[in-house]
């Protein structure tokens, strides 16, 4: 683990108790975590506005300088919250940047819903959707790198935030497929597609894959959807 990630981990406050803003529950695709996280009450309007300012500040700083540019004290100052308050929402920089990725995916999902993919098959629609999301991240390479590095550094304490990213990615894929009630086989295919998309982001960010290669990999893995269609149930 790079030195800056270790330093941030050492400075992180303990994970929040149930009922505080950073607590959450559930696992990816409904699976429970190894450590239970009781459901937290919904945020008040003021708390939600504060959280949005924090996430906006995180994204702005990451866009300018990547992972290293996101310092908790600067995030607190930019979002006009006390440093202690920031740590109650996000116990470390890794928690914050993973939550920022979930927030960015949520914004992408809203954009995708306004202009749905036009492919004739579910596989084509998912491939088009993921490539559009990829290109959106491509326009902000420093931000993309910061968020993906945070996912890579995340340990078990960040499970709720990582699961939120996974759930949001799953919803985006299922929407493109046009499914409300996927079968277990379809969910398995979605998980493999999700893993491939995240891996493609990493290889592109590290300079080990071109955009053309990413597109080929995404289109290839999306063909799994054809193997889990109605005729295979």
For the beta carbon of residue 188, count every other beta carbon within 10 angstroms. Answer: 14
pLDDT in tens, 26-46: 333 333 333 344 456 788 999
Is-contact 193 222, C-beta < 8 A?
Answer: yes
Percent of the chain with pLDDT over 70: 81
At 100-132, the pLDDT tens digits run 999 999 999 999 999 999 889 999 999 999 999
**Res 180: pLDDT:** 86
Tokens found for residue 201: 């982001």
Confidence at residue 230, expressed as pLDDT on a 0 to 100 scale: 58
Distance in angstroms (rounded) separating the CA atoms of residues 74 and 126: 38
Report CA-CA distances (Å) from 207 to 21, 129, 141.
Answer: 37, 23, 12
| Tens-digit pLDDT profile for residues 197-209 | 999 999 999 999 9
Chain-wide mean pLDDT for the chain? Answer: 84
* Predicted structure pTM score: 0.79
Give the mean model confidence (pLDDT) for residues 72-94.
Answer: 96
3-state secondary structure 102-154: HHHHHHHHHHHHHCCCCCCCHHHHHHHHHHHHHHHHHCCHHHHHHHHHHHHHC
Terminal CA-CA length for the chain: 43
């Amino acid at each position: 683990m790079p030195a800056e990630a270790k330093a941030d981990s050492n400075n992180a406050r303990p994970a929040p108790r149930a009922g505080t803003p950073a607590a959450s529950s559930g696992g990816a695709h409904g699976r429970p975590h190894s450590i239970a996280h009781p459901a937290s009450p919904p945020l008040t309007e003021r708390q939600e506005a504060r959280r949005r300012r924090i996430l906006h500040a995180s994204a702005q700083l990451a866009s300018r300088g990547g992972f290293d540019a996101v310092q908790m004290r600067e995030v607190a100052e930019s979002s006009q919250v006390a440093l202690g308050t920031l740590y109650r929402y996000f116990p470390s920089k890794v928690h914050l940047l993973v939550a920022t990725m979930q927030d960015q995916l949520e914004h992408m999902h809203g954009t995708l819903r306004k202009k749905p993919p036009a492919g004739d098959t579910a596989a084509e629609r998912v491939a088009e959707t993921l490539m559009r999301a990829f290109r959106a991240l491509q326009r902000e390479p420093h931000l993309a790198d910061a968020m993906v590095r945070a996912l890579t550094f995340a340990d078990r304490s960040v499970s709720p935030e990582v699961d939120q990213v996974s759930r949001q990615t799953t919803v985006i894929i299922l929407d493109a497929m046009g499914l409300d009630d996927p079968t277990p086989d379809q969910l398995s295919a979605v998980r493999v597609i999700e893993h491939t998309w995240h891996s493609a982001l990493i290889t592109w960010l590290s300079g080990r894959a071109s955009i053309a290669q990413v597109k080929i990999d995404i289109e290839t893995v999306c063909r799994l959807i054809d193997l889990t269609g109605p005729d295979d149930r």
